[in-house]
Amino acid sequence: MDNDNNVLAGAAQDSPAESEAPRPAGQVKHWLRKVLWEVLSTVVPALFITLAINVFVAQAMVVDGPSMQPNLYLSERVIVEKVTYRWLHGPRRGDVVTFDLPGEKEELIKRVVALEGETVEVQGGRVLINGQFLVEPWVTRPGEPSYGPMVVPPGHIFVLGDNRGNSRDSRYFGPIALQQVKAHALLVYWPLDKVKALW
């Protein structure tokens, strides 16, 4: 009986070892396929959603240059949204917008000061709309060149940098077409001590 008990005990001890035996190749392939599917079904949609948000909804951009000082400084990070102009309404006076310009690799960022059909003039950095000085609640820095008067054509807007003496804007390249406008700048999010909403 003792021998039989020893045999049974030995058999019981061998069972876990058998369960830890290497998986057959078919099981490994099945497991790898399952893991791959889980990754693809999670990562690919996430990448697609991120891309869709960047293209159609919002994205971050880095300020490049001094033209929007003192409201935007070099290397500050800005959130821009793309929904408003696509679905709700066009740019409005005072909006800070990003747009494409032929010959430029990166989008530019400026402020809308005049709309289609308006007569715009710039005198020493101050803006006149239809012969009246524009009240600008945002801070600007005066500077040349002066410009105009000229009538903004249909389907266009006139943009200036807030740093009027150090900005290449519509005084140089003229009004920009609404089709060139890409986004509406909403707020500065970096650096953290500079976080603020934009007009």
Query: How would residue 25 be classed by pLDDT, with cut points 50, 70 and 90?
Result: low
Q: How confident is the model at residue 20 (pLDDT cuts 50, 70, 90)?
A: low
pLDDT digits (tens, 9 = 90+) for 71-87: 999 999 999 999 899 88
- 111: which residues sit within 8 A by CB, 6+ positions away? 68, 94, 95, 96, 97, 138, 159, 160, 161, 162, 199
Query: What backbone torsions phi and psi does residue 107 show, to the nearest 5 degrees?
Result: -65, 145
Q: What average pLDDT does the structure give for the chain? A: 83
Residue positions annotated with a catalytic role: 67, 110
Give the model's pLDDT for residue 27.
Answer: 78
pLDDT at res. 59: 83
User: Which of 40-49, 59-68, 136-145 shows the lowest per-residue confidence on average (mean pLDDT)?
Assistant: 40-49
pLDDT above 70 as % of the chain: 76
pLDDT of the residue at 28: 74
CATH of range 61-197; options 2.10.109.10, 3.30.1600.10, 3.40.630.30, 1.20.120.140: 2.10.109.10
Residues 112, 95 contacting (CB under 8 angstroms): yes
**What average pLDDT does range 93-100 have in this prediction?**
96
Give the pLDDT mean for 58-77: 92
Lowest mean pLDDT of 20-29, 50-59, 94-103, 157-166, name the range: 50-59
Strand partners, 176: 157
CA distance 184 to 195: 17
- Give the pLDDT of residue 43: 59
- What's the rounded mean pLDDT across residues 119-132? 96
* pLDDT exceeds 60 at position 136: yes
Model confidence pLDDT, tens digit, residues 35-56:
777 765 665 555 544 444 444 4
Residue spans of the domains in the chain: they are 61-197
